[in-house]
Amino acid sequence: MKLDIKKYEEKMRKSVDAYADDLSTMRVGKANPEVLTRIEFEYYGSPTPLLTMANVSVADARTLVITPYDKSTLKAIDKAIQMSDLGIHPQNDGSVIRLTFPPLTEERRREMSKQVAQKGENAKVAIRNIRRDANDAVKLMKKNGETTEDEAKASDKEIQDLTDKYIKMIDGITENKNKEIMTI
């Protein structure tokens, strides 16, 4: 009996996807609607994602324009943005909300680069934990006599190859995000 490697590969892929999604919500000095994906506001008593209740467009490189489908939600959206961790103060003109992203200072760029590196390291730890779980499963199968020594070694090698592949993906994503931060 051989270990189901696909299950562990799927977990690694999900870790990489979660890391990429996390980085996409970082505010890096240019207008990007994805920074609003985690913002919710109260709409008829229930928390509602901002992006489901408004049209978000990029006016220019540093400005997002939020046009609510229901004008009565304008104040609630404005308040939700102010309460969020975006660090941007919305400009409400009564019909739309404008978010103007300030240019990044050199200090802020270095700080963001450190955040990206830290998040990347956390993603790598998650991948390595998945590798450990898979290796433990192989050891247990070997101990119980469900697999041979050669099959166990082959599984260990396959797991390590997957780990290397996904860690390389994380490194690539980190490098691209750092380039983006430094060139804005």
Q: Are 9 and 48 contained in the same domain? A: no
92/113 same-domain check: no
Looking at every residue in the chain, the average pLDDT score rounds to 89
Are residues 19 and 57 located together in one domain of the fold?
Answer: no
DSSP string, 83-137: HSSS----EE-SS-EEEEPPPPPHHHHHHHHHHHHHHHHHHHHHHHHHHHHHHHH
Instruction: Look at residues 50, 73, 100 and tell me which one is the last residue of a structural domain.
Output: 100
Is pLDDT at 97 greater than 90 in this prediction?
yes
Please report the pLDDT score of residue 160 as a whole number: 96
Kindly report, residue by residue over 122-174, the tens digit of the pLDDT: 999 999 999 999 999 999 999 998 888 898 899 999 999 999 999 999 999 99
The segment with the largest mean pLDDT, out of 10-14, 78-82, 109-113, 150-154, is: 10-14
Find the CATH number of the domain harbouring 138: 1.10.132.20
Among 135, 173, 125, 123, CA closest to 14 = 123
Domain boundary among 45, 74, 100: 100
Q: Which of 6, 9, 15, 5 is nearest to 170 (CA)?
A: 15
Max CA distance (Å), the chain? 71
Query: Same domain, yes or no, for 143 and 161?
Result: yes
Q: Residue 87 pLDDT > 80, yes or no?
A: no
Integer Cα distance of 33 and 30 in angstroms: 10
Q: 92 and 147, same structural domain? A: no
90 and 122 inside one domain: no
Q: What is the pLDDT of residues 24-35, one digit of tens each?
A: 877 676 778 888
65, 17: one domain? no
Overall domain count for the chain: 2
Domain residues for the domain of 73 are 33-100
> In angstroms, rounded to a whole number, what is the distance separating the alpha carbons of residues 70 and 155?
56
